[in-house]
Chains A and B, each alone.
Chain A
Amino acid sequence: MALKIIKSQCTVCGACEFECPNAAIKFKGDTYIIDPALCTECEGHYDAPQCAEVCPVPNTCVPA
């Protein structure tokens, strides 16, 4: 279980990167990507995935 970022919608603001409790999000090339090996969908940390909570564009951080 992990989330992914829909590249075409991403504004590259980076809010998800520093909200991620697992340091699973990194800027690579020209966009942010989620490392599925590190992503826990924030289970055990918070009620909801932080990247999706803070992302300014709807439906951009979604289940992989």
Chain B
Amino acid sequence: MGGTVISLDGLQIGTRDDLTKAMESKGCESSSCGSSDAPEDMDPATWEKVKDHPCYSEEAHHYFARMHVAVAPACNIQCNYCNRKYDCANESRPGVVSERLTPEMAARKVIAVANEIPQLSVLGIAGPGDSAYDWKKTKETFQRVAEQLPDIKLCLSTNGLALPDHVDDLLDMNIDHVTLTINMIDPEVGTKIYPWIFWDRKRRTGLEAATILHERQMQSLDMLHERGILVKVNSVMIPGINDKHLLEVNAEVKRRGAFLHNIMPLISAPEHGTHFGLTGQRGPNAAELKELQDACAGGANLMRHCRQCRADAVGLLGEDRGQEFTMDLVPDEVSYDPTKREAYRDWVAEERGERRAAAEAAKSETAGAVAEDAAAMLVAVATKGGGRINQHFGHANEFQIFEVDAEGVRFVTHRRCDNYCVGGYGEEDKLELVIRTLEGIDTILCAKIGDCPREDLEKAGITAIQDYAYEYIETAVSAVYRARMGLPAGIAASA
């Protein structure tokens, strides 16, 4: 995989190979940071922890759902990409929320969702402020939920400033997943991202603020790692500010034992009212993000399936059913009925085994037939989950992108076409948006597609195929690739 890395906002950083080499010298040393998606890639205890967590296992995210409850509105730092006044029900990005809940309301909502959505496996608290700073509310919510739903995974997302004070509580509550947002390991870089922090009874600014935040973030990471709590590090990629620096962040958090590193694009627009939005700071494009992620990929430890969801999101990653569970729709009294979730888990256990076997078969078939140096191909898939091609093109608000070559099929990322409020756009505008979203994609696989959009996609150089409806993604992508290479597709229909 050669390829020249795109210039990141004026930073010329050579080829991807150079960057990968640079990373290898100080990158992941042990198996402790492997994220990947299959049990053979990690020790059994770790797999047991992540196998049902959609944010920690790429494979799990095809099957399991998470929900966030917005019980923690208070925050102890200010970030230049965040505006605490902003809210929009049609908007999807971190920190945004429509309805704030007390711990008691949140617990009722979780039970109501668990009764309706059998895929639910994780409850996360991600603000809309900071869950570790607003700890009393976070803790009470977890305690109330755990009483009624002991098998749900609890996790939280925090900037790390207040976290070291609560690590013992995390252990008491069996919380084994924590997400830390770390955007820098050099406080000088931090001064461009954080205007102030509230620490030890004072508002602190500039280098002092960034230095304290950095030290507490590293302390949080070390304490969590020592106690066997899996840490995902989230970093916001801000072109011209920390894009190149994130390579160093990646190496350092790996060294300190982070399980996963999730590099997310800055979402920035003037109407968000954030400092970056108002000063015209742009976010990275899909190619820039992928280049940075690829440059960091020394040890298969990047999360590429993040959807940057809202602080009150409900559902599989990429879908948000939060509007079905607003508090006015949640009964005053709910009791948990485990039957649906238990039946679903039994089904998943069987299904994911079959899917893995089908993917392996497709891989060996392709590896045996295609030349080792054959060019890779990018395929977009419309799916509602379960690892199958099961969504109508017109219903897809996002696409899963897979890369395929002689070595097999790899999940690369999602591309969304609904990141921002798109109200007022007509259908035609939406198709244009989708085509822009699919830039660089060779083929799209979906359950069904109308003639008009298929022809428009064809004009844009994208082949839309519905022949593999309801089949496993890996099997179908392999078949398409083999056909492109002039070989018989030879798909063994597994659906």
Interface residues of A (CB under 8 A from B): 11-15, 18-19, 46-48, 50, 53-54, 56-57
Q: Contacts A56-B78, A57-B84 given: A14-B134 contact, CB under 8 Å?
A: yes
Q: What is the number of residues of chain B that contact chain A, defined by CB distance less than 8 Å?
A: 16
Chain B 66-81 near chain A by CB (<8 Å), digits 1 or 0: 0000000111101000
B84 — which chain A residues lie within 8 A by C-beta? 11, 13, 56-57
Let me know if A57 and B198 touch, CB within 8 A. no
A45, B198: Cα distance in complex, Å: 16
Let me know if B75 and A56 touch, CB within 8 A. yes
A50, B100: Cα distance in complex, Å: 23
Q: Which of A11, A12, A47 has the most CB of B within 10 A?
A: A11
A56 — which chain B residues lie within 8 A by C-beta? 75, 78, 84
Partner of B202, one of A11, A13, A53, A57: A53
A54, B75: Cα distance in complex, Å: 8
A19, B78: Cα distance in complex, Å: 16
Task: Say yes or no for B203: interface residue by CB 8 A criterion.
Answer: yes
Let me know if B100 and A12 touch, CB within 8 A. yes
The smallest beta-carbon distance between A6 and chain B, in angstroms, is 13
Question: Quick one: which of B317-360 are within 8 Å of A by CB?
Answer: none
Let me know if A54 and B203 touch, CB within 8 A. yes
Let me know if A13 and B74 touch, CB within 8 A. yes
Let me know if B201 and A15 touch, CB within 8 A. no
B133 — which chain A residues lie within 8 A by C-beta? 15
The smallest beta-carbon distance between B228 and chain A, in angstroms, is 30
B85 — which chain A residues lie within 8 A by C-beta? 11, 57
B198 — which chain A residues lie within 8 A by C-beta? 15, 19, 53-54
Task: Say yes or no for B136: interface residue by CB 8 A criterion.
Answer: yes
The smallest beta-carbon distance between B71 and chain A, in angstroms, is 11
A3, B260: Cα distance in complex, Å: 45
Task: Say yes or no for B129: interface residue by CB 8 A criterion.
Answer: yes
Q: Contacts A18-B136, A56-B84, A57-B85 given: A13-B75 contact, CB under 8 Å?
A: yes
Let me know if B201 and A46 touch, CB within 8 A. yes
Chain B 197-240 near chain A by CB (<8 Å), digits 1 or 0: 01001110000000000000000000000000000000000000
Nearest CB to that of A53 among chain B residues?
B203
A42, B40: Cα distance in complex, Å: 58
A15 — which chain B residues lie within 8 A by C-beta? 74-76, 129, 133-134, 198
B76 — which chain A residues lie within 8 A by C-beta? 15, 54
19 inter-chain pairs at a CB distance below 8 angstroms, sorted by A residue, are: A11-B73, A11-B84, A12-B100, A13-B74, A14-B74, A14-B134, A15-B76, A15-B133, A15-B134, A15-B198, A18-B74, A46-B202, A47-B201, A48-B202, A48-B203, A50-B201, A54-B76, A57-B84, A57-B85
A11, B134: Cα distance in complex, Å: 15
Q: Which of A15, A48, A57 has the most CB of B within 10 A?
A: A15
A15, B75: Cα distance in complex, Å: 7
Q: Contacts A18-B136, A53-B198, A54-B198 given: A12-B203 contact, CB under 8 Å?
A: no
B203 — which chain A residues lie within 8 A by C-beta? 48, 53-54
Partner of A47, one of B78, B134, B136, B202: B202
B202 — which chain A residues lie within 8 A by C-beta? 46-48, 53
The smallest beta-carbon distance between B194 and chain A, in angstroms, is 13
Nearest CB to that of B74 among chain A residues?
A15
A12, B87: Cα distance in complex, Å: 13
The smallest beta-carbon distance between B118 and chain A, in angstroms, is 34
A15, B76: Cα distance in complex, Å: 8
Nearest CB to that of A47 among chain B residues?
B202
Nearest CB to that of A11 among chain B residues?
B84
Let me know if B129 and A13 touch, CB within 8 A. yes
Q: Which of B100, B134, B201, B203 has the most CB of A within 10 A?
A: B201
Question: Quick one: which of B89-146 are within 8 Å of A by CB?
Answer: 100, 129, 133-134, 136
Nearest CB to that of B87 among chain A residues?
A11
A57, B74: Cα distance in complex, Å: 12
Task: Identify the 8 closest CB pairs spanning chains A and B, nearest first.
Answer: A15-B74, A13-B73, A53-B203, A56-B84, A54-B198, A13-B74, A11-B84, A46-B201
Let me know if A14 and B73 touch, CB within 8 A. yes
Nearest CB to that of A56 among chain B residues?
B84
A50 — which chain B residues lie within 8 A by C-beta? 201
A36, B84: Cα distance in complex, Å: 26
A53, B203: Cα distance in complex, Å: 5
For the complex with contacts A15-B76, A56-B78, 6 further pairs of A-B residues with Cβ separation under 8 Å are: A11-B84, A12-B73, A14-B134, A18-B136, A53-B203, A56-B75
A46 — which chain B residues lie within 8 A by C-beta? 201-202
Nearest CB to that of B129 among chain A residues?
A13
Chain B 250-279 near chain A by CB (<8 Å), digits 1 or 0: 000000000000000000000000000000
A10, B100: Cα distance in complex, Å: 14
Question: Quick one: which of B141-194 are within 8 Å of A by CB?
Answer: none
